[in-house]
Amino acid sequence: MANESNSRKAILVTPEICIGCRACQVACKSWNQLPASKTKNNGTYQNPPDLESNTFNIIRFAEVPSKETPVRWLFVSRRCMHCEDAGCVKICPSGALYKTAEGAVAYDRDKCIGCKLCSTGCPFDVPRYDKEGKVSKCHLCFDRIAANMTPSCVKTCPTGALKYGDRAELIAEAKKTGYTTIYGENDLKGLGSVYAFKEEPKLYGLKENPALPSSVAFWHSYLKPLSWIGLGGVVAAAAIHYLAIGPHKEEKEEV
Amino acid sequence: MAEMVRKSSVDEIVNHWVLAGSCILLALSGFAFLFHLDGVAGVFGGYNVMKDVHNWLGVIFALSLLYSMRHYLKDAFEYDADDLQWFKVAGGYLSHKVKVPPMGKYNPGQKLYYLAIVAAGIAITASGLGMWLMKDDATVLMYSHLIHNLAFVIFAIAVPVHIYLGTLANPGTFKLMVSGTLPLEEAKRRYPKWMKAAGRM
Ligand code: HEM
Ligand code: HEM
Ligand code: SF4
Ligand code: SF4
Ligand code: SF4
């Protein structure tokens, strides 16, 4: 078991060997005590259609054209990417969203003020909000991994399409096994949910070149520091002015 | 007893402190949101309470800003040649030797400050309401967040300048926001054009 406490952990998804059983969806609900939601059959096995406040991961079912078989079915696990450079953590005004030592992006529900700004910060449209308007998403089972346990969804996966462990080791192994493309190896300074492919990630419907939304990047690098630099600069300038030039004096001849 | 002149009416003084108080608390809680100042949030009673306080203080701030228009808006749009000269000598703030032209009730620095607060105040209020009440619209939320922060930069710079100029830099000015009055002799010296217009000089 990987237990180098200082190194970054990750979940490695290998869609090629996923059989679409969705045990991971159930395991997540079970560990996190999340209820199922009633949905309608809309012609696909993908159910529910997308992440929900009570659904932290889903298997996306994609049908793509193929020469060998009449139809080719692809299964890919969609969940929070646990970005190293996480827009949601950057923008969260309450500090409810935070990073754990293992690199998980977890949250303190009590601290969340329900402002939904994290949805603006996320490049992957992950954060959802419960009935009280509080944030809700995959937290990489931060409670389990802190106790050296495997995330619930990974533990249940029968094929090894989900693996958990030391991030660098997982990636190195995947490459050795012949997976030429590691999605998320370097995007957003490295994702905590990495995907191993032999084909183009685009084929599986993964977002190409994910990056922080430019508005959030601009805000974080310029606007946010400018407010306190401005305040500090004025206070310093006022002090210098007071000492070097001094306050306004009433002079008799100034009538 | 020296004869006194009233520069600020009572409702102007009361409104100014409602505006100033709400603005400072908004900026304080705003900084606490921006930089996760847990200590400040604790004083407000935690982030959840601070959010509600911030939002409702915003409403008070907006109403107070609206009311302040009857005090300053008209003056803030009127400029003359002396005002231009005032800028050329930097209001006399960079040297005590230059000759500062005669001023009316407000100097152009104050007038422009007022316009800046009105503009930034409208922007911060509109965007604040956007983030508060229209957060389910992703586009509104994104732009509101940007505008709120952009306007906040203006506040973070302009307000401390204003406070410095209203206190330490101009001894005696602070009284105008407490009692609202000043001795006639002083008023003639500081605001000659206003005193002339009012027929007191
Ligand atoms: C606590 C510190 C503050 C002090 C000591 C202070 C002092 C003053 C004084 C003395 C005046 C009257 C100037 C005159 O009539 O010549 C004034 C006006 C004014 N103050 Fe403040 N103020 C403070 C905070 C604020 C804040 C936080 C705001 C926020 C928006 C604000 C907004 C205004 C406005 C809009 C005027 C109108 C006249 C002008 O443009 O100078 N003040 N203040
Ligand atoms: C009607 C007026 C206002 C409303 C409705 C409002 C509302 C909001 C909302 C909804 C937020 C996002 C966090 C939260 O949900 O609490 C926020 C953040 C903030 N507000 Fe306001 N606000 C108002 C006025 C102001 C004013 C006057 C200032 C400063 C002078 C200010 C400074 C800030 C700052 C610095 C933040 C943090 C921004 C961030 O986290 O990116 N706000 N405000
Ligand atoms: S995928 Fe979205 S919610 Fe997850 S860490 Fe990245 S920014 Fe945050
Ligand atoms: S909704 Fe909650 S978690 Fe998301 S940014 Fe706002 S306070 Fe943070
Ligand atoms: S890591 Fe945990 S929270 Fe995230 S999808 Fe898997 S079981 Fe759910």
Digit-coded pLDDT (tens) for B80-124: 999 999 999 999 999 888 889 999 999 999 999 999 999 999 999
A49 domain residue, yes or no = yes
At B161, is the pLDDT very low, low, confident or very high (cuts 50, 70, 90)? very high
Query: How many Å separate Cα A226 from the centre of its chain?
Result: 27
Domain residues for the domain of A248 are 214-254
DSSP string, chain B: ---EEE-S-HHHHHHHHHHHHHHHHHHHHHHHHHHT-HHHHHHHTSHHHHHHHHHHHHHHHHHHHHHHHHHHHHHHT---HHHHHHHHTGGG-S-SSSPPPP--SS-HHHHHHHHHHHHHHHHHHHHHHHHHH-TTSHHHHHHHHHHHHHHHHHHHHHHHHHHHHHTTTSTTGGGGGTT-EEEHHHHHHH-HHHHHHTT--
Written as six digits, the tokens of A139 are: 């937290």
Task: Kindly report, residue by residue over A136-152, the tens digit of the pLDDT.
Answer: 999 999 999 999 999 99
Ligand 2 atom 34: residue of nearest CA: B30
Q: What is the pLDDT of residue B125?
A: 98
A3 falls within a domain: no
Kindly state whether residue A33 falls inside one of the protein's structural domains: yes
* pLDDT score for A149: 96
A249 or B35, greater pLDDT? B35
- Find the CATH number of the domain harbouring A118: 3.30.70.20
Residue A141 CA: distances (Å) to CA of A51, A147, B198: 16, 10, 73
**Phi/psi of residue A49, nearest 5 degrees:** -60, -30
Give bridge partners of residue A12 from the DSSP assignment.
A163, A194
Domain presence at residue A135: yes
- Whether A103 and A187 map to the same domain: the answer is yes
The answer to whether the CB atoms of B38 and A230 lie below 8 A apart is no
Residue A193 belongs to a domain? yes
| Antiparallel, parallel or unpaired: β A193-197 and A9-13 | parallel
Task: Give the number of the ligand closest to the Cα of residue B20.
Answer: 1
Checking if the pLDDT of A253 tops 50, the result is no
Give the chain A residue whose CA is nearest to the CA of B156.
A231
If residue A226 lies in a helix (H) or strand (E), which one and from where to where?
helix A224-244
A209: in domain: no
Is the pLDDT confidence value at A4 over 80? no
Number of structural domains (chain A) is 2
pLDDT above 70 for A252: no
On average, the pLDDT of chain A sits at: 93
pLDDT reading at A104 higher than 60: yes
- Across the interface, which of A215, A238, A249 has its CB nearest the CB of B164? A238
Give pLDDT tens digits for A109-132: 999 999 999 999 999 999 999 999
Tell the CATH topology of B9-197: Fumarate Reductase Cytochrome B subunit (1.20.950)
For residues B98 and B92, the answer to whether their CB atoms sit within 8 Å is yes
For chain B, first and last CA: distance in Å? 19
Q: Which residues in B lie closer than 8 A to residue A246 (C-beta atoms)?
A: 96
Long-range pairs of B43-49 with CB within 8 A, sequence gap ≥ 24: B46/A111, B47/A93, B47/A94, B47/A95, B47/A96, B47/A111, B47/A113, B48/A94, B48/A111, B48/A113
Cβ B172 vs Cβ A247: under 8 Å: no
> Left, alpha or beta for A111 (phi > 0: left; psi -120 to 50: alpha)?
alpha
Looking at residue A251, what is its pLDDT? 58
CA of A115 to the centre of ligand 4 (A): 5
In A, minimum Cα distance to B189 occurs at: A255
For residue B99, the chain A residue with the least C-alpha distance is A254
Domain ranges of chain B: 9-197
Query: Which tokens in the block code for residue B126?
Result: 């509109």
> What is chain B's length?
201
Residues A64 and A108 in one domain: yes
**A157 domain-assigned:** yes
* Nearest in space to A32 (alpha carbons), one of A157, A161, A153, A122: A153
Within 6 A (CB) of ligand 3 lie: A 80-83, 86-88, 105, 121-122, 124, 126-127, 137
Residue whose CB lies within 8 A of the most ligand 4 atoms, among A118, A216, A220, for a mutation test = A118
Could you tell me if A239 and A158 lie in one domain? no
Minimum-distance ligand 3 atom for the alpha carbon of A188:
6
CB contact under 8 A, A247 and B145: no
B152, A227: Cβ pair inside 8 Å?
yes
> Cα–Cα distances in Å, from A101 out to A91, A141, A226?
20, 13, 30
d(CA B88, CA A30): 72
Name the residue at shortest CA distance from atom 14 of ligand 2.
B51
Residues A196-218: tens digit of each pLDDT: 999 999 999 999 999 999 999 99
Q: Say what the alpha-carbon torsion angle B59, B60, B61, B65 is, to the nearest 10 degrees.
A: 100
pLDDT for position A250: 66
Same domain, A66 and A170: yes
Considering only CB atoms, which chain B residues are within 8 Å of A219? Answer: 145-146, 149
